[in-house]
Structures are given as structure tokens and as C-alpha cells.
Amino acid sequence: MRLVLASTSPRRRDLLARLGVEPARVADPAIDETPLPGELPRAHALRLAEAKARAVERAPDEIVLAGDTVIALGRRVLGKAENEPELRGMLGLLSGRRHHCLTAVCVVDASGKARTRLSDTIVAFKPLNGAEIDAYVASGEGLGKAGGYAIQGRAEAFVRFLSGSHSGVIGLPLFETRALLAAAGMPLG
């Protein structure tokens, strides 16, 4: 069995290595990640993970793994911060508040059957002052990241509480991923 990682995220590849898994190849799923009208955050994350897994061509001896991370503030999906004003706005929204980091994982096995799991982690940020937001925005670390932050970097210092999967907040919940790969017939140590 060969694994195809349907993600160009170096973090997902690093997290897979923690399971002792090296993808045979990496593919960019290149899908539209815009939420559908009225789509709730959980459904959005699950839909995108499966869409990414299905968007990648799979040979008969390959398993495809894809994931999607969504930051949910109530029913609102905070996407990826594409520029500094968006990043600043997202940090302001998260300041002093709890939010959900939803990471969906989808594995399509050799027969074409898709299995998905969702990791829901509650994260609470400390109240951020203007200087902290300015410094984080200047670092550029949050650009292109769901919710405008990378917990594996400087933003970890903003987290006053976390309940759930730390690896899920980074982008690939290892417990759920391992279970899905095992169910798909991937040999794991």
C-alpha cells in the first residue's frame, strides 16, 4: 500500500512522520475552499477534507489522505488570513475568547471508500493588546493560516487553555489519522 498525501502543507508531512509514515507522493488537491451558503463549520471541514481526498488521482494500490482545518467562532468560519488587515481582524476576534479548531481528516482506501473523522479542539486565547497583535502581524507567521495563527509558532504563547488535540490544531490530529490509516489497511508500527 502506498500513501498519497493530498496536501502541500509541510506541517502535515511532519506530523505524518510522527506516526512513522512517509507518503509515496504529495499532491496538491487545488479545490475551492469557499464555504457554501449556510454551511456550518463542522460540515465545512468534513466536506473539504473529502473533496481534497477525491480531487487527487489515485492508483489502485494507493491510499489518499487529506485534511482540512477550520477555525470556528460560534457558527462563523474564520478562513485563512490572506493579508495583514485580515490577520489583524482575526486576532482581534480571537482575543480573550474561546474558539473551536476543527480538523477533518479523510482517507480514501484502495477500493475507493472514503472514511472521515473530525477532531474538535477548544482553544482559548488570552486578551491580546495592540502591541502583541502588531508584533504577531509583523512576524508574518499567521498569513495563510486558518484563523490567522500557527499554534506551533509564536501564537502558542497566546493560548491560555486548550482541550483536545494539539496536533489537530497544527493541522493533522494524529489519533484520528492513525485510526483511519489502519482501517484503510495501511501498515503502521
Q: Please say if the pLDDT value at position 189 is more than 80.
A: no
* E strands present in the chain: 2-5, 25-26, 62-73, 76-78, 98-108, 114-125, 159-163
pLDDT per residue as tens digits for the range 114-167:
999 999 999 999 999 999 999 999 999 999 999 999 999 999 999 999 999 999
Where along the chain do its domains lie?
2-183
pLDDT per residue as tens digits for the range 155-173:
999 999 999 999 999 999 9
Q: What's the pLDDT at 109?
A: 96
Q: Distance between CA atoms of 125 and 120, rounded to whole angstroms?
A: 16
Q: Could you tell me the fold of the domain covering 2-183?
A: Maf protein (3.90.950)
Please count the other Cβ atoms lying within 10 Å of the Cβ belonging to residue 161: 10
Catalytic residue IDs: 68
pLDDT per residue as tens digits for the range 6-60:
999 999 999 999 999 999 999 999 999 999 999 999 999 999 999 999 999 999 9
With a CB cutoff of 8 Å and minimum separation 6, the contacts of 187 are 1
CB of 52 closer than 8 Å to CB of 31: yes
Q: What's the pLDDT at 188?
A: 85
